[in-house]
Each structure stands twice: as structure tokens, then as C-alpha cells.
């Protein structure tokens, strides 16, 4: 057996400050997306299949990224003051706090550029944060329209064409059902996002009644177009809500606050990006310029000296 050397591994103050940034950023982003889902559904009646859903989702993700960055900037100072590492009166500016070991808090690397001071630069920082946030969200597999709640009778927030099969008017065959169970395990119920081992219903999308009505439209009949349906995995609870909704011709939205995916971590990943060492290409892309940050660093270094003398 390998013997590991005894090493005391302790969370340093700087680590705590960084962790506070990640937590604040991650939680804030998640809360913004949940709030947006609620507002889109309850106030605006937007579902994942609505035309406005993509735009609403982009707005939510960019706002969420900026709020996450703001919260992350506040977190180290708040934590330092709360734990008594820094006296309240030394909480000089938003987000800027120097810890007792003389190192600058991780808020130096703020994407929002609080350190930049000038208004235009802060605005630029905010725009950059929104852009990087949206790229991360997409990169982590997010779909902007999927921020909205699902309409049970339409492709839901977790609908993914790759997880569907061509369908006729009849029910899914046992073989198709097995494949749909696998798709369900990978992508979740297309309406609520729930993942489970098997027991998915092969959901016709659009639903049969809707497809038949759509095919009856005069221009589709004239051109001889029959609406093509696909099977997509749906869990049993959502399936019965859908049957009720289609039968009674009611629009029912399903919310998916607890179905978390990788892209929900965008706020935390944004902070990981902003904590990367201040060198290299990424730095040039994300931080305004190194001189500015290092000048600020030196200035703060002096301020730290003053504080210790007191
Ligand atoms: Zn479901």
C-alpha cells in the first residue's frame, strides 16, 4: 500500500474568499434562472415552445451572469467582515478587502471590473460578463428557451431532437420503448427533466390530437403536407397531465426548478474563469489589461500597510 506523506491540508483565508465567490456566484445565477422561469410562466405566459422563449432565456442568462458576478464581488468582503478578519470600517469599497496575510482578496479578478473604477469600463465589464456567461451556458449544453417552463402539450424545456424517434400514429413498439427509456435516462423527461431508470412513455410530439388538427388546415391539405410526429421520452406524471390538458383543450405549464443540469452551474463556472491566474490569452480576453490590475494591486498593497500600522 502506498503511504502518503502526512500533510496538513487546511483551507487558507484566500481559499475561503475564493470559495465564497464561487458559492455566491453559483447560487445567484441559479436563483435568477428560477425567478425567470417563474416570471415567464406566471406573468408572461411564456413556455419553452413559445417564440419569445429564446430571447427571454438570453436575457435571463445574461442578467443572471451579471448578478452572479456582482454577488461574487460582494461575497469576500462580506465574509471577511462577518468572520472578523477585517474590521467593518476597512470594508473600503464594494468587493475590495485585504485579508490579514496581506494578500488581496480574489475580487481583484472581478469580471465586472469594479477595480476599473470608470463608469464606461464598468459597463464594458458588465457586457463582457453577460457575453462570457451566455457562451458558458451554451458551452455547458444549455438551451436559452429551456429556461422557461414547459407546456405539456408541446416540446418541453428538456426536448432534444437527438433523443427522439420518428413516430407514426400508433403507440411506440417495445423496441422503440427501450430506446426511448435510454434517451430518457440521458436527457430526462422532455417536460419536467426527471431522470429515472426506464418507465418512460413514448410521447407523440406534437400530440396526436394537435397533429391531426394541424394536418386539417386548408393550406396543409392543399399542399398535401401531413404533420410529422416524433416520439420523445416523457415521464408518467407529465404524460397524464398532458392527456388531461389536450382532452380539455387547456394550456398547462410544468415548472422544473429542481431538474438541474451542468449549465445551471454557469454562475460558479464564471467565477472559476475569473479566478484563473492573471496571465495568458484568456487574461487578455477577460481582464482589461494587466497593468491596470497590477497598479491597483500595488496601491492596495500600500493601503494594507497603513491598515496594519493602525
Ligand atoms: Zn416529466
What are the pLDDT digits (tens) for 56-78?
999 999 999 999 988 887 787 78
Residue 201 alpha carbon to ligand 1 centre in Å: 10
Residue 194 alpha carbon to ligand 1 centre in Å: 6
pTM for this model (two decimals): 0.78
Residue 35 alpha carbon to ligand 1 centre in Å: 20
Residue 6's pLDDT is what? 56
Residue 223 alpha carbon to ligand 1 centre in Å: 35
User: Among 20, 114, 123, which Cα is nearest to 72's?
Assistant: 20
The x, y and z cell numbers of residue 297, run together, are: 494591486
The x, y and z cell numbers of residue 83, run together, are: 468572520
Residue 231 alpha carbon to ligand 1 centre in Å: 14
CB 146 within 8 A of CB 261: no
Distance CA 19, CA 288 (A): 23
Residue 165: strand, helix, or coil: strand
Q: Per-residue confidence at 256, pLDDT binned at 50, 70, 90?
A: very high
Residue 40's pLDDT is what? 97
Max mean pLDDT among 29-43, 89-103, 105-119 falls in 29-43
Residue 95's pLDDT is what? 43
Q: Which residues pair with 205 in a beta bridge?
A: 230
Strands 229-234 and 201-205: antiparallel
Q: Per-residue confidence at 128, pLDDT binned at 50, 70, 90?
A: confident
Ion ligand 1 neighbours, Cβ < 5 Å: 189, 191-192, 194, 235, 238
Residue 137 alpha carbon to ligand 1 centre in Å: 23
User: Among 66, 61, 101, 58, which Cα is nearest to 80's?
Assistant: 101
**11 has pLDDT over 80:** no
- 79-93, 172-186, 282-296: least confident range: 282-296
Residue 239 alpha carbon to ligand 1 centre in Å: 7
**192 has pLDDT over 90:** yes
- Which residues are within 8 A (CB) of 178 and not within 5 positions of it... i.e. 6 or more apart? none
Max mean pLDDT among 41-45, 244-248, 305-309 falls in 41-45
Residue 44 alpha carbon to ligand 1 centre in Å: 22
Q: Per-residue confidence at 298, pLDDT binned at 50, 70, 90?
A: low
Residue 9's pLDDT is what? 60
Question: In the chain, what are the helix, strand and coil shares in percent, each to the nearest 5?
Answer: 60, 5, 35
**44 has pLDDT over 90:** yes
Q: Which residue has the higher pLDDT, 112 or 229?
A: 229
Q: Which H or E run contains 307?
A: helix 290-309
The x, y and z cell numbers of residue 61, run together, are: 442568462
Amino acid at each position: 500500500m502506498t503511504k502518503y506523506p502526512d500533510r496538513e491540508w487546511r483551507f487558507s483565508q484566500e481559499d475561503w474568499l475564493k470559495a465564497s465567490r464561487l458559492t455566491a456566484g453559483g447560487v445567484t445565477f441559479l436563483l435568477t434562472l428560477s425567478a425567470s422561469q417563474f416570471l415567464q410562466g406566471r406573468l408572461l405566459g411564456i413556455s419553452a415552445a413559445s417564440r419569445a422563449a429564446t430571447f427571454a432565456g438570453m436575457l435571463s442568462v445574461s442578467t443572471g451572469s451579471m448578478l452572479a458576478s456582482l454577488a461574487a464581488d460582494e461575497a469576500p468582503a462580506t465574509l471577511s467582515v462577518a468572520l472578523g478578519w477585517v474590521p467593518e470600517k476597512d470594508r473600503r469599497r464594494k468587493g475590495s478587502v485585504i485579508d490579514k496575510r496581506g494578500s488581496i482578496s480574489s475580487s481583484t479578478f472581478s469580471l465586472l471590473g469594479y477595480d476599473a473604477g470608470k463608469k464606461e469600463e464598468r459597463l464594458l465589464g458588465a457586457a463582457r460578463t453577460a457575453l462570457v456567461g451566455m457562451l458558458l451556458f451554451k458551452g455547458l449544453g444549455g438551451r436559452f428557451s429551456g429556461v422557461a417552463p414547459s407546456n405539456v402539450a408541446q416540446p418541453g424545456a428538456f426536448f432534444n431532437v437527438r433523443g427522439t424517434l420518428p413516430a407514426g400514429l400508433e403507440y411506440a413498439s417495445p423496441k422503440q420503448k427501450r430506446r426511448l427509456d435510454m434517451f430518457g435516462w440521458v436527457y430526462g423527461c422532455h417536460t419536467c427533466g426527471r431522470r429515472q431508470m426506464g418507465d418512460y412513455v413514448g410521447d407523440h410530439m406534437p400530440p396526436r390530437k394537435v397533429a391531426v388538427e394541424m394536418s386539417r388546415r386548408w393550406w396543409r391539405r392543399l399542399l398535401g403536407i401531413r404533420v410529422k410526429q416524433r416520439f420523445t421520452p416523457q415521464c408518467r406524471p407529465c404524460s397524464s397531465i398532458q392527456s388531461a390538458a389536450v382532452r380539455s383543450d387547456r394550456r398547462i405549464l410544468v415548472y422544473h426548478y429542481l431538474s438541474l443540469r451542468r449549465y445551471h452551474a454557469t454562475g460558479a463556472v464564471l467565477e472559476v474563469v475569473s479566478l484563473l491566474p492573471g496571465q495568458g490569452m484568456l487574461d487578455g480576453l477577460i481582464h482589461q489589461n494587466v497593468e491596470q490590475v497590477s497598479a491597483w494591486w500595488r496601491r492596495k498593497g500600500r493601503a494594507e500597510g497603513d491598515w496594519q500600522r493602525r
